[in-house]
Structure 1
Amino acid sequence: MPAIRSLFATRLYRAALSEHAPAVDAAELEAACLSIAEDDEAGQEWCETEGFPGYTSYASLADLPWRFPIFADLKTALDAHVAAFAEDLEFDLGDKALQLEDLWINILPEGGSHGLHLHPHSVISGTTYVAMPEGASALKLEDPRLGFMMGAPARRKGAREELRSFIYEKPAVGDVLLWESWLRHEVPMNMSEEERISVSFNYKWE
């Protein structure tokens, strides 16, 4: 009888943001994201110059948790989620800790997308979802082995999840997703007429 095992796991963490205190009011967070986007002229200019669809605060506001109390509460809740994920990953952190490095707003309009990318120099990355209207795109995750598969045939339709080349994770408002920062991912085109709003972040080890 052959012995077949799955090796080298790629973990994806999904939970309700509310599983860890403090409570973050979804409507208040959405209003804050929209208000910041409207006022952030530097961010708007960067998005226009770079051809970035919609709005992101990634290149303009690096201190949201220190500027706005609701983002300070969000950071506290995310710290707890990241600690739980690090425990699942069995990281030996030694005398250092995982610390929030970046946290930014994403507002993706109809037709907007974020191309395939990873987050270098970070350990854990993730997103919490603020507005996900009907038709808003899922998060697309790529099998990190894909570039090494050479001439391998395609997988059968309906193949087991751990054997698929791509996973589409459809989050709901209030969800938080975490993954290791080396995992390539993208946001396909937003097919909704309404904006898809999320807050993304990176944690580093220091």
Structure 2
Amino acid sequence: MTVRALFVTRVYEASLAAERGFAELNSELEEACLSLAQEDMAGRAWCREHRYGGYTSYASLDDLPQRMSVFDVLKRKLDKHAAQFARDLSFDLGGARLKMNSLWVNVLKPGAAHTSHIHPHSVLSGTIYVRTPPGASALKLEDPRLAMMMAAPPRTADAPEDSRSFVYLQPEPGTILMWESWLRHEVEANAAKIPRISISFNYGWG
């Protein structure tokens, strides 16, 4: 008897935490994120208008690697991980390469959440985590087949990770998580007493 695992959804996980100079880099990233949260008036206005619980530069700043050198350093590191993930996914890019097309800051205040969504017009999406205090939200990933399961029974509480309808990944500072952009995901309410800080990004093809 054989049970095959077909059409697997892959999630890439790595960490910068063991790299030399990580503590300094992470400290600079945290300072830069908090500085933007104070100074980016357009971003703050967008967050108020859209009831985002905290701050994000998603809709206001599209040039962070050019604006601040610490984000350029981060981009160069992320480029290598995206290239590795593309190889793991057996992408045939026809001699081209994936290029970062957006990078944005997220400062999620206590009690705030980010509802379920995907990232259209991108190939890979991901997040690197800067501050994850006790109680900080996990990343919740949804089985992409869920809408087609119709009459399927629920999974048992002890189902293996690759058979669950939802998987929760609890990152630490320096953790990089990356997935194909069609994978639906969300961040549930931040139960930490201080903001959770992360930096998200997208890669496109060409």
Same fold (TM over 0.5): yes
TM-score, length basis structure 1:
0.96
For structure 1, list consecutive stretches of 5 or more residues without a partner in the other structure: none
Counterparts of residues 97-176 of structure 1 (less than 5 Å): 97-176=97-176
**Segment of structure 1 superposing worse, 151-160 or 23-32:** 23-32
Secondary structure of the residue aligned to 2:176 is strand
Q: Which residue of 2 aligns with 1:63?
A: 63
> Structure 1's 141 and 33: CA in aligned 2 closer, same or farther, altered over 3 A?
same
Match in the other structure for 1:35: 35
CA, structure 1 residues 78+22, in 2 after alignment: closer, same or farther (shift >3 Å)? farther
Q: Deviation string for 1:81-118 (max 9, x for gaps)?
A: 00110110010111221000110000000110000000
Q: Name the amino acid aligned to 2:2.
A: A
Shift of 1:67: 0.5
CA distance in 1, matches of 2:184, 2:60: 24
> What is the root-mean-square deviation of aligned Cα atoms in Å?
1.4
1:17 to partner: Cα distance: 2.6
Aligned-residue identity in percent: 54
Give, in angstroms, the shift of residue 50 of structure 1: 1.0
Q: Give the counterpart letter for 2:198 in structure 1.
A: S
Q: CA separation in 2, counterparts of 1:175 and 1:184?
A: 19
5+ long unaligned stretches in structure 2:
none
Match of 1:5 in 2: 4
- The number of equivalent residue pairs is 205
What letter matches 1:56 in structure 2?
A: T
| Structure 2 letter corresponding to 1:168 | Y
- Secondary structure at the aligned position of 1:74 is classed as helix
The letter of the residue matching 2:70 is I
Return the TM-score normalized by structure 2.
0.96
Task: Report matched runs for 1:167-206 at 5 Å.
Answer: 167-206=167-206
